Structure 1
Amino acid sequence: MVEPVVESKRAQADHEKLETAAASIVGGMAELPLSLRPFLLLQDVAAHGENEALKATSQAVLLDLGNRSVTPETVACLADFAAQLNTNLIRLSLSKNTVGPRSLQLLGKALLTNNSIQFLELDSCELLGSPYRPQMEGLLALSKGIQSARSCLRYLNVRNNDLQPEGCRVLLGALAFHPTLTALDISSNMLSLFQDKSGYLALSYLLRYAHALCWLDISDNALPKQAFPVLRESLMANASLTCLNAKRCNIPTQSALLGSSSVTDHGEPTNNTATMGILHRLEV
């Protein structure tokens, strides 16, 4: 009669140990600051086994602070958390918040040591402050963080930040040789303001050297005519890009970027891999 009771206590103790271990492992949940808890989402990535506590260890952490009027103090707390090694923080969204250069600088420094973030959303965050007096310190820090050997970034969204040619040059230069980046949204950023060529030249380097990039959105960036042959040459050398959104970029036709031999009579890309790589969707 004693043995079943002993076994039951042992099983309960083992279960409590598993729950405690899971709480300490899941993306640092036990250590996640209270100020970040309201933004926490969990997503199963590879749940195995029947024990719920063990399943929890396979959950990815997603922090969605998008359009939540976050304060600089919250971003500072977030940067401290993101700087930790081996968290399960996979996705971070700060979309539509006034992040600004100073908070971006903290985030960039955190990315130097972070080895988990794969999806980073910074659209409409005023990353340079005022477009009339842009401050580059934050963007430079972000670029250094992205270039870290620890980075496993796959998707970056910096849409609508008024980066201007200089900001685009800095960021695209950091991304050009990134080994894991597969998708980038840099739309609506004044890439060729005042027909400055530094922005579209940096874009051409990205197209030529970013060998993992499959999807790119550059829409709402007016391009001068002299940019077309430069970008066309890089597209011809590209062997990874499959989708390119170039709407509202002052590009008259697809042939301006692909060349006449790469466009059908109906204006669609052909299968001529010698002139257009594997690109099968182009929107202008």
Structure 2
Amino acid sequence: MVEEIEDNESSAVNPKDQVHEDTQDAGSVVFPAELERYASRQDGEMHLEMSDQSVPLTTMSVLGNYMSLLNAPVVRLSLSRNCLGADGAELLGKALVTNNTLEVLELDDCGLVGSPYRPEFEGIMSLAKGIQSVRSNLRHLSLAHNGLLPNGCRILLGALTLHPTLTSLDISDNLLSVFDDKQGYLALSYVLQYSKQLSRLVMGENPLPKGAWDVLMAGFATNSSLTSLDIRRCGITRDQFDELLLAQPESANSALTELLCDDA
């Protein structure tokens, strides 16, 4: 991330610094006009559909300011396929620290760490802090197609290990394992072991070595809430998965009823 430099002669304000430090109630704040084009309302709830909109950082700043308010009526926010980068992830993370209403967050293909050749993890560290806030009410989180790399997966999955409300997670196509780097799938194994609410996991398009499945199987066997699992294009067939799962001493605890994987 580009280092911020103070310049006393400039009146420019970095958008990342515009998110409120104090917490206000959304009921006392007018909904920003800049966000009206993305909003739809139903039964007192608001959805912001901002996918594929080339959302600039200035709009992300406005969004962050509003989402940081207590009782903001937005329950679903979709920002998929916008090039948010590390700066956008940081703005959103700061807002989520105080947000207590958002239930669905979609961040597919947002380039959250920038280029995989020169990844920037500061933004998703802020995002992770927001996700694991004690105020968080997230039910569904989609992070697909972000090329997070093992370290990025570790950072964000670490924030979800003990999340009290998350029921659905999509981390497909994120380079969960690269070469001998284990930290991504180790973090996922902790989510599986300790999550009490997660019922749906999509992790397809993450080719994993055999050693990773040995680690993950203990989590799949002990998790009694997970009912739906997508592991297509992860380097394991249905027969192989079933064999490894049944070999676990605690496999009877598994609640899986839907398994999507490669047949051969």
TM-score (norm 2): 0.85
Q: Which amino acid aligns with 1:98?
A: C
1:211 aligns with 2:227: no
Q: CA deviation at 1:226?
A: 0.5
Q: CA deviation at 1:252?
A: 3.0
**CA deviation vs aligned residue, 1:47-70 (integer Å, no higher than 9, x gap):** xxxxxxxxxxxx101111010111
Structure 1 pair 31/201, CA: closer, same or farther in 2 (3 Å)?
same
Q: Is the 8 A contact 1:232 1:257 kept in 2?
A: no
**CA deviation vs aligned residue, 1:14-69 (integer Å, no higher than 9, x gap):** xxxxxxxxxxxxx759711111010011122xxxxxxxxxxxxxx10111101011
Q: What is the 5 A alignment of 1:109-258?
A: 109-256=94-241
Aligned to 1:3: none
Secondary structure of 2:111 counterpart: coil
Aligned to 1:278: 255
Aligned to 1:65: 50
Q: Which amino acid aligns with 1:103?
A: G
**CA deviation vs aligned residue, 1:186-238 (integer Å, no higher than 9, x gap):** 00000001231111111111111111000000000000010111111111111
Aligned to 1:82: 67
**CA deviation vs aligned residue, 1:82-111 (integer Å, no higher than 9, x gap):** 001112110111010001101110110110
Q: Is the 8 A contact 1:231 1:257 kept in 2?
A: no
Q: State the distance in 1 between where 2:28 and 2:143 align.
A: 27
Structure 1 pair 260/172, CA: closer, same or farther in 2 (3 Å)?
closer
Deviating 4+ runs (over 6 angstroms): none
Aligned to 1:34: 33
Q: Is the 8 A contact 2:217 2:245 kept in 1?
A: no
Q: Which amino acid aligns with 2:41?
A: L
For structure 2, the 5+ residue unaligned runs are: 1-25
Secondary structure of 2:137 counterpart: coil
Q: State the distance in 2 between where 1:126 and 1:231 align.
A: 26
1:43 aligns with 2:42: yes
Aligned to 1:267: none
Q: Which amino acid aligns with 1:279?
A: L
Q: State the distance in 1 between where 2:135 and 2:246 align.
A: 42
Aligned to 2:15: none
Secondary structure of 2:238 counterpart: coil
Q: State the distance in 1 between where 2:190 and 2:213 align.
A: 14
Secondary structure of 2:179 counterpart: helix
Q: Is the 8 A contact 1:179 1:212 kept in 2?
A: yes
The alignment of Structure 1 onto Structure 2 pairs a total of residues equal to 235
Could you tell me which of 76, 95, 115 is aligned with 2:80?
95
Secondary structure of 2:201 counterpart: strand
Q: Which amino acid aligns with 2:158?
A: G
Q: State the distance in 1 between where 2:27 and 2:149 align.
A: 37
Structure 1 pair 254/82, CA: closer, same or farther in 2 (3 Å)?
farther
For structure 1, the 5+ residue unaligned runs are: 1-26, 45-58, 263-271
Q: CA deviation at 1:259?
A: 2.9
Structure 1 pair 162/213, CA: closer, same or farther in 2 (3 Å)?
same
Aligned to 1:12: none
User: Larger relative CO (CA 8 A, sep 6+): 1 or 2?
Assistant: 2
Secondary structure of 1:144 counterpart: helix
Q: Which amino acid aligns with 2:96?
A: L
Aligned to 1:108: 93
